[in-house]
Amino acid sequence: MRAPSTPSSTRTSALGWQSLARHFSPLLLFDGFAGRGHYEGGEDGSPILFFKRSAEAVEAGRPAQVFIRCVELNPHNFADLQRVISELRHPGVSIDARRGTFSEHALESATRLRGWTTVPPAFWTADPYGFRVCR
């Protein structure tokens, strides 16, 4: 089993999507294992990092709009995640959370994207613990 994600490794992956933001709008970010939204030490987790960097990119004019979908299976982590993202506001950034598995929400999101006239680029993150919950 790989080592768990750390704040610095999450920060790096949360920034990897920004090359897409320079050329496309809207942009979709899918955090498949969002956790509580922050680490036990209070450091920002991937949902908050995605939101902050998305807001910065929108304010810089690239892209005009970002949609962020966060998925978390654990009910306690999900409750914390909902509380954390409910405080995040920006006119060009939408963030929502869904409780469940990566696989069920990834499939639902991919199916919905097929209905779009022009499918925007999407950046999908997975967890370093692996895909054992993706059945």
d(CA 131, CA 53): 26
> Residue 111 domain-assigned?
yes
> Residue 13 domain-assigned?
no
Q: Which residues share a beta bridge with 98? A: 71
Q: pLDDT by residue (tens digit) across 10-64?
A: 544 445 556 655 666 688 899 999 999 999 899 999 999 999 999 999 999 888 8
The answer, yes or no, to whether residue 78 has pLDDT greater than 90, is yes
Q: Are 30 and 69 in contact (CB under 8 A)?
A: yes
d(CA 1, CA 44): 24
Q: Which of 30, 38, 39 is nearest to 124 (CA)?
A: 30
Q: Is 83 helix (H, G, I), strand (E, B) or coil?
A: helix
The more confident residue out of 114 and 96 is 96
| Per-residue pLDDT at 131 | 54
Q: What is the pTM of this model?
A: 0.78
Give me the domain span that covers residue 79.
Answer: 18-125
DSSP 93-104: EEEEEEES-HHH
Provide the domain count of the chain.
1
Q: In this structure, what CATH number is given to the domain that contains residue 45?
A: 3.40.50
> Residue 98 domain-assigned?
yes
Q: Which residues share a beta bridge with 70? A: 31, 97
> Residue 132 domain-assigned?
no
